[in-house]
Structure 1
Amino acid sequence: MFTQQIHQTHKIALEPITTAHLDGLYAAGQHPDIWRWVLDNYTATPDTLHNWFTQSAQFNATEQVVFAIVDKASKQVVGTTRLFRLDSDNLAAEIGHTFISRDWQRSYVNTHAKYLLLCYAFDALSLTRINFNTHENNYKSRSAISRLGARFEGIAYKDRLLADGSYRNTAKFSIIDEHWPELKKQLEEQL
């Protein structure tokens, strides 16, 4: 089971999301490019964001924990990410539903956030497998996942029905516990 706690490096903090983060999250999500490959733009309006917070971000705390990503120097909310789909029988979970403000993409934010989530998953929860999924055509996301050291496992065709009625083919990646110690060392060198 997940615990609601703050995880941090010297540059960012992952804070369990609360209503206090919503204004910053709304501001972070306003560039349309962020939502090109995402299933739903939950920052479209303040009401949409509030509905997402109450209905999705708080859904089944035994299976997920949703974090606001906060830049420590500026104290600015720069996005959100989550650890979810906890499978306690198989000791697996997924990292995703991440968005980072366009101003903070290709900075240190994603590496630090994913490092913290992976440490929590493997070191604190003793999970054996972490999954990452993204749209097959979202090459920016696929590249970011690969830079973490995740292994590409293939494409799942027509994996998700999108809001516009089309289907997403999903690029699937994973990190397993045997690979984590070496990947952890590599990520720490990047921090």
Structure 2
Amino acid sequence: MTAAMMSNDSLSGRTVRLVPLSVDHAEALFTSASDPEVWRWMPRPRPDSLPEMRAMIGRMLADQARRCFAVQRLTDDTVIGSTSLYELDLAEGRAEVGATWFDRSCRGGPCNAESKLLLFGYAFDALGLVRIALRTDNLNERSQRAMKRLGLTYEGTLRSHMVRQDGTRRDSLYYSVLADEWPSVRDKLLTRVAAKGTA
């Protein structure tokens, strides 16, 4: 598949590898999720303990409409984050991307961009999806700018869509990429990965 070599259900790039998520990744993911800023825009609270992390992973794995991955750094095989396809509907050819976080040490590096490159490639090239959507909090301007830079299309806003962790209600902005747009988005992701260098 383009931009990702598949081996034993893993997706490998230049700096990271996506491997099927398991409860065995809980300890490493609990460490990578330790930065509260990572969870500021998440709809769920950050797990406060290793048992809570295991429970969260268990719930994710029990969802048949998910494909969940742990993100490993290729240089040392350290698990540095997580990402998933969810609400996966193969009959309709669509999914959303979420449950994505990275260790604070990955900020500014290629890990997030390459993880999306690998995940999108898997979705479009291996699963044959037609549409991938991403949603973000209306206050998360950094995320909105990132999606626009990648060439994703803003579709609209679901008003008062979810409850934030602080109890306020958020509007959710939806962005998407379609299969015929994927080559252009792929090229932008490849350029970003190359520009950010190695992890």
- TM-fit CA distance, 1:59: 2.4
Aligned residues: percent identity?
Answer: 27
- TM-fit CA distance, 1:163: 4.1
Aligned to 2:37: 33
* Higher mean C-alpha deviation, range 139-148 or range 88-97: 139-148
Aligned to 2:61: 58
Where in structure 1 do 4 or more consecutive aligned residues deviate above 6 Å? none
Number of residues paired by the alignment?
Answer: 186
Give yes or no for contact 1:156–1:169 (8 Å, CA) kept in 2. yes
**Does 1 or 2 have the higher relative contact order (CA < 8 Å, sep 6+)?**
2
Aligned to 2:5: none
CA-to-partner distance for each residue in 1:74-110, whole Å, 9 max, x for gaps?
3221111101111233211111121112221221001
Structure-1-length-normalised TM-score: 0.90
Which residue, 156, 164, 167 being the options, matches 2:158? 156
Alpha-carbon RMSD across the aligned residues, in angstroms, is 1.6
Aligned to 2:136: 134
Q: Provide the secondary structure at the position in 2 that maps to 1:142.
A: helix
Give yes or no for contact 2:73–2:80 (8 Å, CA) kept in 1. yes
Q: For 1:176 and 1:42, locate their aligned partners in 2 and report how far apart those are by CA, in whole Å.
A: 31
Aligned to 1:9: 13
Aligned to 2:119: 117
- TM-fit CA distance, 1:170: 0.6
Give yes or no for contact 2:26–2:53 (8 Å, CA) kept in 1. yes
In structure 2, the gaps of 5 or more residues are 1-7, 194-199
- TM-fit CA distance, 1:16: 0.8
Structure-2-length-normalised TM-score: 0.86
Give yes or no for contact 1:43–1:49 (8 Å, CA) kept in 2. yes
In structure 1, the gaps of 5 or more residues are none
Give yes or no for contact 1:86–1:93 (8 Å, CA) kept in 2. yes
Amino acid at match of 2:62: F
Give yes or no for contact 1:96–1:132 (8 Å, CA) kept in 2. yes
Aligned to 1:170: 172
Following superposition of structure 1 onto structure 2, how do residues 76-115 of structure 1 map, counting pairs within 5 Å? Answer: 76-115=78-117
* Higher mean C-alpha deviation, range 128-137 or range 160-169: 160-169
